[in-house]
Amino acid sequence: MPHPTTMKPQTLTLSGGHSSKIVLGAPAHDDLTEYTAELLANIHLLSGSSTLYCKFSDPLTYDQLLVQRGIKSANTFLIFGGHGDESQLLGPGAKLGAANCRKLRSPFYTSAHIYLGPRFMLAFCCWAGVQLGDWFENQTAGRTFVGFEDELYLVLADGDYATCWTQLLVDLAKAMLNAPDLQSLEKAVQDSYQSALNKFPPHQDKKNRWGMLMRGYLRRQSESVRAIIS
């Protein structure tokens, strides 16, 4: 699989009319998270909502981020890219001496943070749609959540691949903001994945070196994505 490379910034519009603060949570401590952090950095959400890009390479928790950035309202939209497990979103591990332990991870968002919000959460990471999804469904009201109940695989390349992932994130965010009910949200999420798949048709595989792999990863994500409106 290729490694991340520099991408050209993209202007992508997110509509919805909500006055919430959009927080882009971007841990960056290994190849995957450095890539997803760059994807988030290239999202420009223009909706009347203020957008805050939060890249971090040291351990940080959600409540600490809110304090550091002066975010007082629970009416936020957190888009998180990185690692996760069934019950939490994960950030970088602590550095030991001069060594940067890229494989170590620390809790970023756990059950202890549920009461803090956000109103919307897009967890673009492995497994968080399982237990964390249950908590959003059963312990909150008026919240929207999209996450995954499986490992999340990405083609880590720029060009059309990075553009596709970035557009997918924006399309999922649009779906979450605009869906009036769960059935509409689930359909909009699947439509977003179909649109992404359409960018890599089999007859263009000679042009798109990683086209077959993209289709496989996109289908796997679409089958494991979980949408919740509590």
- The set of residues, in sequence order, having a beta carbon less than 8 Å from that of 28 and lying 6+ positions away, is 34, 37, 55, 56, 57, 92
Q: How far apart are the first and last CA of the chain?
A: 38
Domain extents in the chain:
21-229
Per-residue pLDDT reduced to its tens digit, 64-76? 999 999 998 888 9
Residues 6+ apart with CB under 8 A from 98: none
Q: Check residue 149 and report its DSSP letter.
A: S
- pLDDT value at residue 8: 43
How much is the average pLDDT of 111-132?
97
pLDDT value of residue 181 = 97
In percent, the amount of the chain with pLDDT more than 70 equals 86
What is the pTM (predicted TM-score) of this model? Answer: 0.90
| pLDDT of the residue at 15 | 47
Model confidence at 11: pLDDT above 50: no
- Compute the average pLDDT of residues 27-40: 96
